[in-house]
Amino acid sequence: MRVLVADDHSLFRDGIVSLLQAAGFEVVGQVSDGEQAVEATRRLQPDLVLLDIAMPGMDGLETLRQIKGEWPQTKVVMLTVSDDDRHLFEAVRSGAEGYMLKNLTANEFLQLLQGLEQGEAAMTRRMAARLMKGMADMAQRPEQAAPSLTPRELELLQLVAEGLSNRAIGQRLSISENTVKYHMKHVLQKLGAQNRTEAVSIALRAGLIEQASS
Protein backbone atom coordinates (compact mmCIF):
# COMPACT_ATOMS: atom_id res chain seq x y z
CA MET A 1 0.00 0.00 0.00
CA ARG A 2 1.36 3.43 -1.01
CA VAL A 3 0.96 5.92 1.84
CA LEU A 4 1.10 9.71 2.16
CA VAL A 5 1.55 11.12 5.68
CA ALA A 6 0.24 14.61 6.52
CA ASP A 7 1.05 16.05 9.94
CA ASP A 8 2.52 19.39 11.01
CA HIS A 9 4.69 17.86 13.76
CA SER A 10 7.86 16.73 12.00
CA LEU A 11 9.11 14.50 14.83
CA PHE A 12 5.84 12.56 15.00
CA ARG A 13 5.65 12.42 11.21
CA ASP A 14 9.17 11.01 10.95
CA GLY A 15 8.32 8.37 13.55
CA ILE A 16 5.19 7.27 11.68
CA VAL A 17 7.12 7.11 8.41
CA SER A 18 9.82 4.93 9.99
CA LEU A 19 7.19 2.64 11.52
CA LEU A 20 5.34 2.27 8.21
CA GLN A 21 8.49 1.56 6.25
CA ALA A 22 9.65 -1.03 8.78
CA ALA A 23 6.26 -2.76 8.41
CA GLY A 24 6.58 -2.93 4.62
CA PHE A 25 4.43 0.01 3.58
CA GLU A 26 5.66 2.25 0.76
CA VAL A 27 5.67 5.86 2.00
CA VAL A 28 5.44 7.99 -1.14
CA GLY A 29 5.54 11.36 0.64
CA GLN A 30 5.12 13.37 3.80
CA VAL A 31 3.72 16.90 4.13
CA SER A 32 3.01 19.38 6.91
CA ASP A 33 -0.32 21.02 6.01
CA GLY A 34 -3.64 20.49 4.26
CA GLU A 35 -2.90 22.31 1.02
CA GLN A 36 0.31 20.32 0.59
CA ALA A 37 -1.66 17.12 1.27
CA VAL A 38 -4.14 17.89 -1.52
CA GLU A 39 -1.34 18.77 -3.95
CA ALA A 40 0.67 15.66 -3.02
CA THR A 41 -2.40 13.44 -3.42
CA ARG A 42 -2.95 14.89 -6.89
CA ARG A 43 0.70 14.34 -7.83
CA LEU A 44 1.48 11.03 -6.13
CA GLN A 45 -1.90 9.24 -6.22
CA PRO A 46 -1.38 7.33 -2.93
CA ASP A 47 -3.60 4.44 -1.89
CA LEU A 48 -3.87 5.85 1.64
CA VAL A 49 -3.52 9.28 3.23
CA LEU A 50 -2.86 9.48 6.97
CA LEU A 51 -4.20 12.88 7.92
CA ASP A 52 -4.01 14.94 11.09
CA ILE A 53 -6.96 17.19 11.97
CA ALA A 54 -5.20 20.17 13.56
CA MET A 55 -2.89 21.56 10.88
CA PRO A 56 -2.09 25.17 9.96
CA GLY A 57 -4.12 26.75 7.18
CA MET A 58 -6.63 24.25 5.81
CA ASP A 59 -7.52 21.83 8.61
CA GLY A 60 -7.66 18.07 8.27
CA LEU A 61 -11.43 17.80 7.89
CA GLU A 62 -11.53 20.29 5.04
CA THR A 63 -8.53 18.53 3.49
CA LEU A 64 -10.41 15.23 3.79
CA ARG A 65 -13.41 16.69 1.95
CA GLN A 66 -11.22 17.96 -0.89
CA ILE A 67 -9.34 14.69 -1.27
CA LYS A 68 -12.53 12.62 -1.25
CA GLY A 69 -14.19 15.05 -3.64
CA GLU A 70 -11.45 14.66 -6.24
CA TRP A 71 -10.17 11.13 -5.55
CA PRO A 72 -12.94 9.10 -3.86
CA GLN A 73 -10.97 5.88 -4.37
CA THR A 74 -8.15 7.14 -2.12
CA LYS A 75 -8.50 5.88 1.43
CA VAL A 76 -8.13 8.51 4.16
CA VAL A 77 -7.54 7.77 7.83
CA MET A 78 -7.50 10.52 10.44
CA LEU A 79 -4.58 10.09 12.85
CA THR A 80 -5.05 12.70 15.55
CA VAL A 81 -4.97 13.70 19.21
CA SER A 82 -8.58 14.94 18.96
CA ASP A 83 -10.92 12.80 21.07
CA ASP A 84 -13.86 15.07 20.20
CA ASP A 85 -16.92 13.10 19.05
CA ARG A 86 -17.84 15.93 16.67
CA HIS A 87 -14.56 15.45 14.82
CA LEU A 88 -15.12 11.69 14.69
CA PHE A 89 -18.65 12.02 13.30
CA GLU A 90 -17.66 14.70 10.79
CA ALA A 91 -14.69 12.68 9.57
CA VAL A 92 -16.84 9.60 8.94
CA ARG A 93 -19.61 11.67 7.30
CA SER A 94 -16.98 13.19 5.02
CA GLY A 95 -15.77 9.80 3.85
CA ALA A 96 -12.87 8.83 6.11
CA GLU A 97 -12.16 5.10 6.25
CA GLY A 98 -10.71 5.35 9.74
CA TYR A 99 -10.14 7.49 12.81
CA MET A 100 -7.22 6.69 15.10
CA LEU A 101 -5.87 8.49 18.15
CA LYS A 102 -2.15 9.09 18.42
CA ASN A 103 -1.96 7.31 21.77
CA LEU A 104 -2.25 3.91 20.06
CA THR A 105 0.63 1.47 20.42
CA ALA A 106 2.66 0.65 17.33
CA ASN A 107 1.11 -2.83 17.16
CA GLU A 108 -2.46 -1.47 17.44
CA PHE A 109 -1.73 1.09 14.74
CA LEU A 110 -0.33 -1.48 12.30
CA GLN A 111 -3.12 -3.99 13.00
CA LEU A 112 -5.76 -1.36 12.17
CA LEU A 113 -3.99 -0.49 8.91
CA GLN A 114 -3.82 -4.18 8.00
CA GLY A 115 -7.56 -4.41 8.65
CA LEU A 116 -8.05 -1.43 6.34
CA GLU A 117 -6.41 -3.40 3.52
CA GLN A 118 -9.05 -6.10 4.11
CA GLY A 119 -11.92 -3.64 3.87
CA GLU A 120 -12.38 -2.98 7.60
CA ALA A 121 -12.72 0.47 9.20
CA ALA A 122 -9.47 1.61 10.77
CA MET A 123 -10.69 2.41 14.27
CA THR A 124 -10.64 0.73 17.67
CA ARG A 125 -13.72 -1.06 19.03
CA ARG A 126 -14.14 1.73 21.57
CA MET A 127 -14.11 4.36 18.83
CA ALA A 128 -16.54 2.34 16.70
CA ALA A 129 -18.90 2.02 19.68
CA ARG A 130 -18.84 5.79 20.20
CA LEU A 131 -19.58 6.31 16.53
CA MET A 132 -22.55 3.91 16.59
CA LYS A 133 -23.94 5.51 19.75
CA GLY A 134 -23.61 8.97 18.25
CA MET A 135 -25.39 7.93 15.06
CA ALA A 136 -28.19 6.32 17.07
CA ASP A 137 -28.60 9.47 19.17
CA MET A 138 -28.80 11.65 16.07
CA ALA A 139 -31.37 9.34 14.48
CA GLN A 140 -33.63 9.75 17.53
CA ARG A 141 -33.53 13.55 17.47
CA PRO A 142 -36.53 15.31 15.88
CA GLU A 143 -35.82 16.93 12.54
CA GLN A 144 -34.92 20.60 12.92
CA ALA A 145 -36.15 23.31 10.62
CA ALA A 146 -33.56 24.33 8.06
CA PRO A 147 -31.76 27.55 9.10
CA SER A 148 -32.61 30.65 7.08
CA LEU A 149 -29.64 31.97 5.10
CA THR A 150 -29.65 34.90 2.69
CA PRO A 151 -29.00 34.29 -1.02
CA ARG A 152 -25.51 35.80 -0.63
CA GLU A 153 -24.75 33.55 2.34
CA LEU A 154 -25.92 30.49 0.42
CA GLU A 155 -23.81 31.49 -2.58
CA LEU A 156 -20.78 31.93 -0.36
CA LEU A 157 -21.33 28.65 1.46
CA GLN A 158 -21.64 26.78 -1.84
CA LEU A 159 -18.21 28.10 -2.83
CA VAL A 160 -16.81 26.99 0.53
CA ALA A 161 -18.16 23.50 -0.21
CA GLU A 162 -16.24 23.62 -3.49
CA GLY A 163 -13.04 24.16 -1.54
CA LEU A 164 -12.41 27.85 -2.26
CA SER A 165 -10.47 29.97 0.23
CA ASN A 166 -11.85 33.27 1.57
CA ARG A 167 -9.61 35.16 -0.86
CA ALA A 168 -10.74 33.07 -3.83
CA ILE A 169 -14.39 33.50 -2.83
CA GLY A 170 -13.90 37.25 -2.62
CA GLN A 171 -12.41 37.29 -6.10
CA ARG A 172 -15.22 35.13 -7.48
CA LEU A 173 -17.94 37.33 -5.96
CA SER A 174 -16.09 40.64 -6.45
CA ILE A 175 -16.11 41.44 -2.74
CA SER A 176 -13.30 41.94 -0.24
CA GLU A 177 -11.86 39.13 1.85
CA ASN A 178 -13.05 40.97 4.97
CA THR A 179 -16.60 40.96 3.60
CA VAL A 180 -16.34 37.21 3.03
CA LYS A 181 -15.23 36.78 6.65
CA TYR A 182 -18.14 38.96 7.81
CA HIS A 183 -20.66 36.82 5.94
CA MET A 184 -19.03 33.59 7.16
CA LYS A 185 -19.27 34.78 10.76
CA HIS A 186 -23.04 35.14 10.36
CA VAL A 187 -23.32 31.80 8.56
CA LEU A 188 -21.54 30.01 11.42
CA GLN A 189 -23.80 31.72 13.96
CA LYS A 190 -26.98 30.83 12.09
CA LEU A 191 -25.96 27.21 11.60
CA GLY A 192 -24.50 26.79 15.08
CA ALA A 193 -21.26 25.59 13.49
CA GLN A 194 -17.74 25.79 14.94
CA ASN A 195 -15.95 26.09 11.60
CA ARG A 196 -16.37 26.14 7.81
CA THR A 197 -16.29 22.35 7.47
CA GLU A 198 -19.06 21.84 10.01
CA ALA A 199 -21.11 24.62 8.37
CA VAL A 200 -20.87 22.89 4.99
CA SER A 201 -21.85 19.55 6.52
CA ILE A 202 -24.92 21.06 8.22
CA ALA A 203 -25.96 22.87 5.05
CA LEU A 204 -25.59 19.72 2.95
CA ARG A 205 -27.73 17.69 5.34
CA ALA A 206 -30.36 20.42 5.37
CA GLY A 207 -30.41 20.56 1.56
CA LEU A 208 -29.34 24.22 1.54
CA ILE A 209 -26.42 23.64 -0.84
CA GLU A 210 -25.32 20.91 -3.23
CA GLN A 211 -22.43 18.49 -2.88
CA ALA A 212 -19.45 19.79 -4.83
CA SER A 213 -18.93 17.79 -8.03
CA SER A 214 -15.69 15.80 -8.30
Greater pLDDT, 61 or 21 = 21
For residue 124, the SS3 value is coil
Whether the predicted model's global pTM rises above the 0.75 cut: no
Mean pLDDT (whole number) for 26-32: 97
Q: Which pLDDT tens digit goes with each residue over 158-185?
A: 999 888 888 999 999 899 988 898 888 8
Q: Which pLDDT tens digit goes with each residue over 191-206?
A: 888 888 888 888 888 8
Q: Which pLDDT tens digit goes with each residue over 43-102?
A: 999 999 999 998 888 889 889 988 988 898 999 999 999 888 888 888 888 889 999 999
Q: Rounded CA gap, 61 and 58, in Å? A: 8
- Closest Cα partner for 64 from 209, 169, 193, 163? 163
Indicate the pLDDT class of residue 141, thresholds 50, 70 and 90: low
Greater pLDDT, 122 or 141 = 122
- Closest Cα partner for 8 from 36, 28, 27? 36
**Amino acid (one-letter) located at 80:** T
pLDDT on residue 89:
86
Q: For the chain, list the domains and their CATH numbers.
A: 2-139 (3.40.50.2300), 151-205 (1.10.10.10)
Query: Starting from the edge strand earliest in sequence, which strands make up the sheet with 2-6, in order?
Result: 26-31, 2-6, 48-51, 75-80, 98-101
Q: Is the pLDDT of residue 142 over 70?
A: no
Q: Rounded CA gap, 48 and 27, in Å? A: 10
Average per-residue pLDDT in the chain?
Answer: 88
pLDDT on residue 212:
65
Contacts of 12-17 with CB under 8 Å at 24 or more apart are 12/102, 16/50, 16/79
Q: Which pLDDT tens digit goes with each residue over 147-158?
A: 678 888 899 999
Q: Is the pLDDT of residue 137 over 70?
A: no
pLDDT on residue 199:
86
pLDDT on residue 196:
84
